[in-house]
Amino acid sequence: MTPDIQAMKQTRTDTPATDWRQRRSTRAMVFLLAWCVSGLGYAVEFPSLPLQTGVVQPAPNVIFILDDSTSMEDDVLDTGLSWSNTNPGLGNGSGAPYTKNPLSYNPAITYLPWASANATDTAVERLPNANFNAAYRSPEFATSGSTLDLRTGSTNGDYYTGSPATFYVPKPGLTDDQKTPFIIGIAGSVAVGKSTTARVLKELLQRWPSSPKVDLVTTDGFLYPNEVLRKNGIMDRKGFPESYDIGAILRFLSAIKAGMPNVKAPLYSHLTYDVLPGQYVTIDRPDILIFEGINVLQTGNLPADGIAVPFVSDFFDFAIYIDAPVELIHDWYVERFMRLRETAFRDPQSFFHRYSKLSEHAARAIAEQLWENINLKNLKENILPTRPRADLILRKGANHLVERVALRKL
């Protein structure tokens, strides 16, 4: 076993079992979001009032909360945390840092002094900055009274005593270095809506309460350059398995899964229909990576000698296949081609600029030919057979609305 392959295999076993990215709830949330972004074939409205009443009532606009706890008498909000320079307690309980408890001190935030009464205008007036060597303990004594030396923890008559006021925070980069990204693969035919699903899913995932870092990479950049395809006589098979640099894809995903920083992925131009030489996008330890392309679930030939060969999908935590009847995909492909003929193809730098000068009838004939000889053949031979390998299959109908969902047990 080569060191590269051994490293790839290890990345799947070194993930901590407690990592939230490996939990079933994460897969379930990805399933729900993917279903929503791809469109639903019908809408369901849930009533906001008890079904028995049938009475339309105005929405409440006043909330009254009565808190009779003694903490309401305190001058400041108590975090409930106990800090110690000998027992930082980096768990979920006492002493948790800001990454565990949002009330804890966060060095990335600039904290402003307390606001004070302002009788002159509506601008906010604030108390003067605190003195670390002699900090007043509350707004009640912000300009006079006893103080606290935060360097030693000693006081001048106040109730606070103890060790120095030390706040423990994670070391820079520590969390990023230890995390294992959750990788989502999205597969399907040309023109079926993979890219749209991937982009919208990325935006929705970023809005989770934990605000995860989500990156999106497509396999287009891993195609061999057109010059190489022409040299090998496979320019007319662009998009087929042999037109991709699979080794580069495996090395990229292995580095991402291993938590390596600043991993580069090559960029592709749909204008010039070619890989952009020397241009890359840098992926720096995301929480979630969406990897989208027609070939991401393909397995290739199994080794006759039984030596382990990693597949692209081996690095996925969740795989989605966007499906639709072949007749609809054909219609979507031709419609897109004709639409691009009136827009992007008109750019003189476009690889397909020559098609913008054709008549509508001639252009449609070209689209049909490209579909029949390249895309349909690739769909039947290489893409559709990978559908059963997905964790989630979204079956589309007319207007890209999802009509059927197939989900593996989470």
304, 339: one domain: yes
Instruction: Specify if 96 maps to a domain.
Output: no
Range of the domain at 339: 3-41+174-407
pLDDT at 159: 43
Within a domain: residue 61? no
Q: In this structure, is residue 58 part of a structural domain? A: no
Q: Following DSSP, what letter does each residue of 159-207 receive, concatenated?
A: S--SS------PPTTHHHHH---EEEEEEE-TTSSHHHHHHHHHHHHTT
Residues 141, 279 within the same domain: no
Domain final position from 166, 182, 200: 166
Predicted pLDDT at 318:
95
Q: Are residues 187 and 249 in the same domain?
A: yes
Phi-psi region of 9 (alpha: psi -120 to 50; beta: other; left: phi over 0): alpha
Q: Tokens 């230890």 identify what position?
A: 178
- Kindly list the strands in the beta sheet with 318-323, ordered across the sheet, starting from the edge strand earlier in the chain: 214-218, 288-292, 182-188, 318-323, 392-396, 402-407
Q: What is the pLDDT of residue 154?
A: 52
Single out the residue in 145, 166, 187 at which a domain terminates: 166
Q: Specify if 221 maps to a domain.
A: yes
CATH number of the structural domain spanning residue 225: 3.40.50.300
Domains in the chain, number? 2
Take residue 150 and report the two structure tokens written for it.
């935060």
Residue 14 lies in a domain: yes
Q: Are 293 and 221 in contact, with CB atoms under 8 Å apart?
A: no
| pTM for this predicted structure | 0.62
- For residues 141 and 202, membership in a common domain is answered with no
Q: How many Å apart are CA 202 and CA 288, to the nearest integer?
A: 9
Question: Are residue 230 and residue 137 in the same domain, yes or no?
Answer: no
Q: Residue 66 domain-assigned?
A: no
Question: What confidence score (pLDDT) does residue 130 get?
Answer: 77
Regarding whether 142 and 24 lie in a shared domain, the answer is no
158-167: long-range contacts (C-beta < 8 A, 24 or more apart)? 163/84, 163/85, 163/86, 164/85, 165/83, 166/83, 166/84, 166/85, 167/83, 167/97, 167/104, 167/105
Tell me, yes or no, whether 31 and 138 share the same domain. Answer: no
Asked whether residue 220 is assigned to any structural domain, the reply reads yes
Other Cβ atoms within 10 Å of 11 Cβ, number = 20
Could you tell me if residue 70 is inside a domain? no
301 and 160 assigned to the same domain: no
Question: Do 143 and 292 belong together in one domain?
Answer: no
Residue 41 has a pLDDT of: 45
Domain end: 116, 147, 166, which one?
A: 166
Contact in structure between 320 and 29 (CB atoms under 8 Å): no
Q: Does one domain contain both 24 and 136? A: no
d(CA 175, CA 260): 12
The verdict on 258 and 391 lying in the same domain is: yes
pLDDT tens, position by position, for the chain (410 residues)? 444 444 343 333 333 434 544 556 666 666 666 656 555 444 445 555 555 555 555 565 666 677 666 666 665 555 555 444 444 444 444 455 666 566 666 766 777 777 776 656 666 777 777 777 777 766 666 666 677 776 665 544 444 445 555 555 555 554 555 678 999 999 999 999 999 999 999 999 998 877 789 999 999 999 999 999 999 999 999 999 999 999 999 999 999 998 889 999 999 999 999 999 999 999 999 999 999 999 899 887 766 666 667 889 999 999 999 999 999 999 999 999 999 999 999 999 999 999 999 999 999 999 999 999 999 999 999 999 999 999 999 999 998 999 999 998 76
**Tokens, residue 132:** 């670390």
In a shared domain, residues 159 and 295: no
In angstroms, rounded to a whole number, what is the distance separating the alpha carbons of residues 129 and 112? 8
